[in-house]
Amino acid sequence: MKKGNLVKKGYDEIGSNYMEYRDLFSNLPELEIVLKHLPEKGNVLDAGCGTGLPIAKFFVEKGFSVTGIDISETMIELAKVNVPEAKFFRSDMSKLDFPELSFDCITAIYSMFHVPKEKHSSVLENFYRMLKPAGILFFCLGTHSGDSYGDDFIGVEMFWSNYSPEKSLSLVKETGFLVLFDEILEKGDELHYWIIAQK
């Protein structure tokens, strides 16, 4: 099975069970940093939005107009119920074609590491294209370079793909972003590499 299909199938099966696991992780401190760099109102794209909780909901509650996309139909249906104020579409973050300068902020939280790392550069370039000037990209990746498969991620098979934090940081810079924040943080007993960058 193709890697993307495996990821989609996995999240279609996990569905709402994901929230029990997700509740262990808080992103509020980093979201507060992001907010400081955004206009009071604007457009946010949540790429790999999952159930819409907590990220899409956070921005809706702050008064932003939010669009969420996810590769999993199940996740999109859950997100529509959880955050009715936002717009949600099924789409692959490596194939997005929103017009350029569409968004003040793009988030990809615990999602971009499901895209094969060879595509990370083009995903970043496309995010850059879709952001308005001074727009903010907030995302995270894994901390170890390589591709990995798990056969029991919340009960399903899963695929992850990352470069090292050093290499990911240089891709972000090469894309043209100014890096505002980058740190390896431990949340819910897991380490991830977090980046907040500005166009």
Ligand X SMILES: C[S@@+](CC[C@H](N)C(=O)[O-])C[C@H]1O[C@@H](n2cnc3c(N)ncnc32)[C@H](O)[C@@H]1O
Task: Confirm or reject binding of residue 93 to ligand X (CB under 6 A).
Answer: yes
Of 42 and 48, which has the nearer Cβ to ligand X? 48
Binding residues for ligand X, total number by CB under 6 A: 21
- 17 DSSP 8-state letter: H
Judged by DSSP in three states, 167 sits in helix
**Site of tokens 């990821």:** 7
**DSSP assigned state of 98:** P
Stretch that binds ligand X, among 31-39, 108-116, 167-175, 184-192 (CB under 6 A): 108-116
Which two tokens mark 76? 């999109």
Whichever of 77 and 182 has its CB closer to ligand X, that residue is 77
- Which conformational region is residue 110 in: left (phi greater than 0), alpha (psi within -120 to 50 degrees), or beta? left
How much is the CA Rg of the chain, to the nearest whole Å? 15
CB of 173 to ligand X, least distance (A): 23
Interface with ligand X, residue 88, by CB under 6 A: no
Contact set with ligand X (CB under 6 A): 4, 7, 11, 22, 48-50, 55, 69-72, 75, 92-94, 109-111, 114-115
